[in-house]
Amino acid sequence: MLPGCGGSKASNASSSSSPASGTNVQAITVNAGPTGNYANGLFTSVTVCAPGTSNCQTVSGVLVDTGSYGLRVLSSALKLSLPQQNDSGGNPVVECAQFVLGITWGPVKTAEIKLGGEQANSVPVEVIGDPAYSTVPAGCSGHGTPQQTLAALGANGILGVGSFIADCGSACAASGSGNPGFYYGCPTASSCQIIAEPVSQQVQNPVAFFAADNNGVMVQLPAVSASTASVSGSLVFGIGTQSNNSLGGAKVFKLDNFGNFTTTYKSKAYPGFLDTGSNAYFFLDSATTGITDCPSQENGFYCPSSPASVSATNTGANSTSSNVSFTVDNAATLFANATDSVFPTLAGPNAGAFDWGLPFFFGRNVFTAIETKSTPGGTGPFWAY
């Protein structure tokens, strides 16, 4: 999870300011979130049900994240009993999901997930911070600070709707030193050991399991010209499956084997990715960009003395390219107005890579196509805007 947000001034053929409507549409809002202090957080509500029952709960304040895969809900926000997933030895499976600035630790359970008029059945999900598994193994916490509470996570959960189906894939299904250690079998709460978790049992992107509109998503947010308190938009399921999710004039950027495209800045190429779960443009470092870092109070953001103009070019594995220009403002100045939580010109450093965070999505229809799924723009994974 990254702090920050930025804003693009570029326009494109698929931009729209009118909210979408239909059974494949989920309302989303950029605001301060359930803690009241989140900058550029994209939130929604998710209905979770015990499989095969009408026992359901709607959880609000869930962060929408195109940079991860699968649903994770804080135990403190989930009052619903869900069936526990067990490994081949009959031991409960617990996940150590690894993000840029921290980890989430919690048991893997099975749920039905309802979003808009869509439903995904029997989907593995992670319940973060379950008190029955309060001990985080050293092998997990070594990957970052545990984000086990609302105060630490800043959200009641994370809805990962990125371009892949399982949250770890074949690496976590393998035994031995190559396994990155996302999944643990726990004979007791304090004796958890890394296991090989079959891909089909890993936490899964629920969109891929809808009966229809299951080949990707479109994030639709209005253009934002200045900092404000909140903005509303739509998460539209499917790509080219209904009249409200056509690619239109959007360019398709195929992803490489690592799930990135290439971003070229000052004639040098870097890995780049589109991510609503990052709340700023996070790119390179002060030495490379010439943009001043913030002092300790706003650590992790840029604080130029005057607005800085940035231009970079995104290129897909299919050679499609697009230039993007945006402005970076002083984060300390932006944060000075306590009523604002939407910041279109917020950015920060991210050494060696371009993380096109939430501000990139303002004023664009941005599509995320899921791996192996067929769309009018070709088979996923790809991004399009």
**63: Cβ–Cβ under 8 A, 6 or more apart, which residues?**
33, 41, 42, 43, 154, 155, 157, 158, 159, 277
Same domain, 50 and 114: yes
At 84-116, the pLDDT tens digits run: 999 999 999 999 999 987 999 999 999 999 999
Q: Is there a domain that residue 8 lies in?
A: no
Same domain, 132 and 259: no
Same domain, 193 and 267: no
Q: Is there a domain that residue 131 lies in?
A: yes
Same domain, 193 and 80: yes
| Banded model confidence at residue 18, pLDDT cuts 50, 70, 90 | low
Residues of the chain above pLDDT 70, percent: 95
| pLDDT surpasses 70 at 3 | no
Same domain, 79 and 172: yes
Q: Which amino acid is at 230?
A: S
| pLDDT surpasses 80 at 359 | yes
At 185-203, the pLDDT tens digits run: 999 999 999 999 999 999 9
Q: Is there a domain that residue 13 lies in?
A: no
Q: Which amino acid is at 187?
A: P
pLDDT at 121: 98
Last residue of a domain, one of 163, 190, 209: 209
Same domain, 182 and 265: no
At 43-59, the pLDDT tens digits run: 999 999 999 999 999 99
pLDDT at 20: 82
| pLDDT surpasses 80 at 287 | yes
At 340-358, the pLDDT tens digits run: 999 999 999 999 999 999 9
Q: Is there a domain that residue 345 lies in?
A: yes
| pLDDT surpasses 90 at 14 | no
Q: Which amino acid is at 17?
A: S
Q: Is there a domain that residue 220 lies in?
A: no
Note the pTM of the prediction, 2 decimals. 0.94
Q: For 118-238, where are the alpha helices, taking DSSP H only?
A: 138-141, 150-153, 170-173
Distance CA(167)–CA(164), nearest Å, equals 7
Same domain, 29 and 177: yes
Q: Torsions phi, psi of 272, nearest 5?
A: -135, 155
Q: What number is the average pLDDT over the span 231-238?
A: 98
Q: Is there a domain that residue 18 lies in?
A: no
| Banded model confidence at residue 297, pLDDT cuts 50, 70, 90 | confident
| pLDDT surpasses 60 at 384 | yes
Same domain, 182 and 256: no
Same domain, 180 and 43: yes
Q: What number is the average pLDDT over the span 71-91?
A: 97
Last residue of a domain, one of 186, 209, 232: 209
| Banded model confidence at residue 80, pLDDT cuts 50, 70, 90 | very high
DSSP state of 358: G
Last residue of a domain, one of 159, 188, 209: 209
Lowest average pLDDT, out of 7-16, 131-140, 286-295, 310-319, goes to: 7-16
CATH of the domain at 257: 2.40.70
Same domain, 122 and 72: yes
Extract the runs of DSSP E, i.e. beta strands, from 77-221: 93-98, 103-115, 118-128, 157-161, 183-185, 193-194, 216-220
| pLDDT surpasses 50 at 4 | no
pLDDT at 101: 79
Is residue 93 within 8 Å of 105, Cβ to Cβ? no
Same domain, 246 and 349: yes
Distances (CA, A) of 222 to 9, 150, 292: 12, 28, 29
| pLDDT surpasses 50 at 176 | yes
Range of the domain at 288: 241-384
CATH of the domain at 121: 2.40.70.10
Give the count of domains, the chain: 2
The phi-psi region of residue 376 (left if phi > 0; otherwise alpha if psi is between -120 and 50; otherwise beta) is: alpha
Q: Is there a domain that residue 235 lies in?
A: no
Same domain, 195 and 265: no
Q: What number is the average pLDDT over the span 204-208?
A: 98
